Each structure stands twice: as C-alpha cells, then as structure tokens.
Amino acid sequence: MTVSKKEYKTMAEKASPGTTYGKNMLMAFLFGGTICTLGQVFQNWYLSLGLGKDGAAAFESMTLVALSAILTALRVYDNLAKYGGAGTLVPITGFANSIVSPAMEFKSEGYVIGIGSKMFMIAGPVLVYGTAASVIYGLILWFFHLY
Amino acid sequence: MPARVGKYTIELQANPAVLGFASVVGKKESEGPCGQYYDQCHKDTTLGESSWEKAESRLQNEAIHLALHKANLNNTDVDCIFAGDLLNQCISSTFGLRSLDIPFLGQYGACSTMAQTLGIASLFVEAGAASRAAAVTSSHFCSAERQYRYPLEYGGQRTPTAQWTATAAGAVILGKREEYPTAKVGLQAVTFGRITDYGVKDPNNMGAAMAPAAAQTLLDYFSDTGTAPKDYDLILTGDLGMVGGNLLEELMKKEGKDISAVHNDCGLMIYDLEKQDVHAGGSGCGCSAAILCSVILQRMTAGSLHKVLFLGTGALLSPTSSQQGESIPSVAHLIYLKA
C-alpha cells in the first residue's frame, strides 16, 4: 500500500469521532452533584435523628454504598452510568459498583476463584494506590510535625 | 484442484457448492435491520444456560444443526468441521460441537474466523480431502465483554469508536460441485490475508486497526485476478463498522480502486447504529457469520445477488497485548462467492 503509517495515523484520527467533552462534563456535574446532594440529605437526616457528626457521615456513606450495590444488582446502575460517566464513577457509589459488578459477573466460576478473587479486579488498584498515597501523606505530615 | 493465481489468490476451479447455511442470533440482533432473515432468534441472551460460555456454545451447536437440516444432511455426512470463536482456547467451538462426532479443526482468526474457516473448508472440498466440510463460528456479547473488557454491570462509558460484539453464530456446509450440480451458490476463489499493523493501539477502535488489513487483501486480490471493484455486486467486509468502513473506502480510493459504490459492512448491517446505541457498529466472529449466513446467502440463492467478495476482518490482539501497550495486528481473508 502507498499510505505510510504516519499518514494513516492522521487519517484514522480524522475518521474517529472524539468524546464530546462539554456534554460529558455537564452530565458528570449533574449526576455527581445529585449523588452528593442525596448524600447530604441523608447526613442531615441522620443528624436530626440524633447521631453525632462522625456517626452521621459514616451512616451516610453506608447508605450510598448500599443503594449503589442494590441498583447494581438490579442491573440499573450501569444504565445510569452510561449517561452519568464520571458523575457516577467518582463518588463512593461508583466504588461500590466496581466491587459488586465483578462479584455478580464471576459467580459462574464459584465462590472462591470466581467471586472471591475477581471481586476487587477493578477496585483493587484504587485500594493499593489509595493506601500507598496515604502512607506517603502520613510520612510527610510526620516529618513536618518534627519541627 | 486449487490453483494459485498471482501471489496470494487461490482459484477454486471445481467451484465447491454451498449446500446449507444457517444463522442463530440473540435478542438485540433480532431487533436489528436484518432481524427477519435469521433462522433462529433467541429472546433470552442466556439461551436458558447457566453461563455465557454455555450460551455461546449452544449458539454454534444450533447453527450447525440448522445448517445440516437445511442441507438435508446428517452430522455423519460431514467429513470435517472448521470452527472458531473469540473465547480463550476456543471453548465455544469445542464445547458446542463436541457431540457432533465430526473430525474437528479449531481455528482462531479473531473476527475473521468465518472467512478463515470457510476458506479452509472450501480448499478441503476442492482438493478432494473432504466430500463435505463445514465452517462455523460464533460470538456472544456477554462472554466477550467479561473476557476482553469489564463485567456487564460495571458502570463504564463506551467510547464513540467502540463496537458492539454480536451475539450470533453462523454455519455453512460445503460440498463437491459434481455431487451437487444444481446448488445455486459456489465458491470461486480465496485470498488469505497477511498480518498488517499500521500502529493503531486503541482497543476501542478496532475498525481503524483492521481497515489497512482489509485494504491490503483486497488490493492483493484485485492485482492477482486483474479484476476491479465494478466487477462485483457487493464487497462485504466483516466488522469494520462506521470508522473502519470509511477508512477502508478512503484507503482504496488512494490506491485508485474506489469501492464505495459496492461496499457494505456486516457491522453496519447487523444493528441500527442510532436506535440500538451500538456506537460504531457491530463486531465479533458471529457478526459477519450471521450476516453472511442469512441475508447475503439467501439473496444469492434467490438470484438477486450474484458476485460477492466476502472479506472477514480480524483484530489479532489480546487483553494482555493491549495492557502492555502493543499496537493491534490485523488480518483479512477474502472469499469470492458466485451465484
């Protein structure tokens, strides 16, 4: 063929429709904002029931995680995420979805090598690097407190 | 006997005949523009099975049994079966066909497998190594997703260039022309493609990765046979989709062989791109298999389509190669069918 790899790269980029960033960002804002507002509503409700600030925050997270897990199990969450994008991915609900969905998917390989080993296939890296980052952050904080 | 024409094309002088063909699809495919042409449509994507892999195996099993039934043959009448799919170790084929008791040769050509198996089956018949040979392939959206991408319920977004793996299977039974002189459709030539890699790395843009392979094989075929796109009623690519299909037409124009008047793509035919939300189109072994074994061969048998170049396209990547940052090698195999 006469077309070079370099020329083809330009052709392919031109022919491939890109992501619509404006629309995606707006949808992420709306979905993410709604989830966070819902979280705030729960927190205020738990506070009004007499839970302390820490308790209300913990119960709020647990409620959102449970809701996300239930919506994933009902095969609804992925349909919301199709429109919500980062808005449904970033909040704690997205994290719950990333654990529940492989658990459902790999049930056919059994409880140990299926659900057990595949459950954290998406959330695993978040946990690893989240923990590593908090260790580094802790070291920095410790270092500054020395002086 | 098969005769080599030019460097890459093999002419099938005995013209092996298509004795039977069948397609089996899932719900989404049955709701697509070609829904009326499939032999069997399943409304339940699990096909009543306990795993997606079992469901896909059943698609293949049903396709081959339907094709045998339509050809008025028993499984023992077939000397050899060539089959493949997308799953690791080609388990849809081996598990789907294990009850058939036919000598089996598993094939892997990614989404080009229908053209690959059909090409090899035709050569077996042409060379007299088999009186009757079968080619069958399948893919299943759910089994492919869990192997190549994410769990079904994971809330991710698909990119605009992504394609939708078809839940479908297709099977063709070939026989010797002298035994079936009245068979409408025959195979005239085969061109097996070379591996082509133009450096595309995005596994969500396989159409763009495969278009140069399709162009390469088409150019080889035209050069070997001295024919041109206008000599054919249809040039049918496997699963280039919207992006790859446009790129192929552009590449061919640059080479002085404009195919846009006769080109169509199975990935564009199997779904309604807008209404069914499949982004750039359909893909998977079953995509080209189901379209070939339904609307195309039906129209050829009915006499409304005569000269067809069927070009299976395959992206030869694995999740590992993509994760390691490799580009996507591709291949395209061409079959010339004439009615």
pLDDT tens for B202-244 read 999 999 999 999 999 999 999 999 999 999 999 999 999 999 9
Residue B289: closest CA among B159, B172, B150: B172
The predicted pLDDT at position A146 comes to 86
What number is the ipTM of this complex? 0.92
Beta carbons of B133 and B80 less than 8 angstroms apart: yes
What is the average pLDDT score of chain B? 97
Q: What is the pLDDT of residues B258-283, one digit of tens each?
A: 999 999 999 999 999 999 999 999 99
Percent of chain B with pLDDT over 90: 99
For chain A, which residues score pLDDT lower than 50?
none
User: What gap in Å lies between CA B279 and CA B162, rounded to an integer?
Assistant: 6
**Candidate from A19, A82, A94 with C-beta closest to B159:** A19
- Given a cut of 90, whether residue B38 has pLDDT beyond it is yes
Q: Are residues B201 and B329 in the same domain?
A: yes
Percent of chain A with pLDDT over 70: 100
Instruction: Show residues of chain B in contact with A102, CB under 8 Å.
Output: 151, 154
DSSP count for chain B of H helices, then E strands: 11, 15
Q: Which domain holds residue B168?
A: 16-175
Q: Are residues B99 and B168 in the same domain?
A: yes
User: What gap in Å lies between CA B253 and CA B16, rounded to an integer?
Assistant: 32
Task: Find residues 167-226 of chain B whose CB sits inside 8 Å of chain A.
Answer: 198-200, 205, 208, 211-212, 215-216, 219
Q: What is the pLDDT of residues B89-108, one digit of tens each?
A: 999 999 999 999 999 999 99
Put simply, the answer to whether B160 touches A106 (Cβ < 8 Å) is no
The predicted pLDDT at position A19 comes to 87
The predicted pLDDT at position A104 comes to 96
Instruction: Show residues of chain B in contact with A105, CB under 8 Å.
Output: 146, 151-153
Q: Are residues B26 and B154 in the same domain?
A: yes
Residue of B nearest to A17 (CA): B160
The predicted pLDDT at position A147 comes to 78
B10 found inside a domain: no
Q: What angle do CA B66, B27, B99 make, to 5 degrees?
A: 35
List the structure tokens of B279: 């982004």
Within an 8 Å CB–CB cutoff, is residue B255 touching chain A? yes
Alpha helices by DSSP H, listed for chain A, are: 5-15, 21-48, 53-73, 77-84, 86-89, 92-105, 117-118, 123-145
Q: Are residues B108 and B242 in the same domain?
A: no
Which of A4, A8, A25 to probe by mutation at the B interface, max B CB count within 10 Å?
A8
Contacts of B64 (CB under 8 A, 6+ apart): B22, B81, B96, B97, B100, B134, B136, B171
Lowest mean pLDDT among B79-83, B99-103, B153-157: B153-157
Q: Are residues B162 and B218 in the same domain?
A: no
How would residue B16 be classed by pLDDT, with cut points 50, 70 and 90? very high
User: What gap in Å lies between CA B230 and CA B219, rounded to an integer?
Assistant: 14
Residue B213: closest CA among B232, B189, B234, B238: B238
Q: Are residues B101 and B190 in the same domain?
A: no
The mean per-residue pLDDT over the stretch B119-145 comes to 97
Domain termination site, one of B175, B205, B220: B175
- Strands B330-338, B307-315: pairing is antiparallel
Domain termination site, one of B117, B148, B175: B175
The predicted pLDDT at position A90 comes to 87
Put simply, the answer to whether B247 touches A88 (Cβ < 8 Å) is no
B3 found inside a domain: no
SS (H, E, C) A63-79: HHHHHHHHHHHCCCHHH
Q: pTM to 2 decimals?
A: 0.95
Q: Are residues B149 and B219 in the same domain?
A: no
In angstroms, the Cα distances linking A95 to A41, A55, A65, B121, B319 are: 20, 21, 8, 49, 23
B238 found inside a domain: yes
The predicted pLDDT at position B25 comes to 98
User: What gap in Å lies between CA B303 and CA A96, rounded to an integer?
Assistant: 56
Domain termination site, one of B117, B149, B175: B175
B5 found inside a domain: no
Q: Are residues B217 and B106 in the same domain?
A: no
Count of structural domains, chain B: 2
Q: Are residues B280 and B158 in the same domain?
A: no
Q: Are residues B106 and B235 in the same domain?
A: no
Q: Are residues B44 and B84 in the same domain?
A: yes
Q: What is the pLDDT of residues A93-134, one digit of tens each?
A: 999 999 999 999 999 999 999 999 999 999 999 999 999 999
B273 found inside a domain: yes
Within an 8 Å CB–CB cutoff, is residue B274 touching chain A? no
The mean per-residue pLDDT over the stretch B64-82 comes to 97
B302 found inside a domain: yes
Nearest-Cα distance to chain B for A51, in Å, is 32
SS (H, E, C) chain B: CEEEECCCEEEECCCCEEEEEEEEECHHHHCCCCHHHCCEECCCCCCCCCCHHHHHHHHHHHHHHHHHHHCCCCHHHCCEEEEECCCHHHHHHHHHHCCCCCCEEECCECECHHHHHHHHHHHHHHHCCCCEEEEEEEECHHHHHHHHCCCCCCCCCCCCCCCEECCEEEEEEEECCCCCCCCCCEEEEEECCCCECCCCCCCCCHHHHHHHHHHHHHHHHHHHHCCCHHHCCEEEECCCHHHHHHHHHHHHHHCCCCCCCCEEEHHHHCCCCCCCCCCCCEECHHHHHHHHHHHHHHHHHHCCCCEEEEEEEEECCCHHHHHCCCCCCEEEEEEEEEC
B58 found inside a domain: yes
Instruction: Show residues of chain A in contact with B203, CB under 8 Å.
Output: none
Exposed e or buried b for every residue in A47-76, given b needs 16+ CB within 10 A?
beeebeeeebbebbbebbbebbbebbeeee
Q: Are residues B206 and B146 in the same domain?
A: no
List the structure tokens of B55: 């469901």
Put simply, the answer to whether B160 touches A16 (Cβ < 8 Å) is yes
B11 found inside a domain: no
SS3 B309: strand
User: What gap in Å lies between CA B290 and CA B136, rounded to an integer?
Assistant: 10
Task: Note the Cα A65 to chain centre separation in Å.
Answer: 11
Put simply, the answer to whether A78 touches B159 (Cβ < 8 Å) is no
**Candidate from A12, A17, A73 with C-beta closest to B160:** A17
Write the CATH number for B88.
3.40.47.40
User: What gap in Å lies between CA B110 and CA B326, rounded to an integer?
Assistant: 17
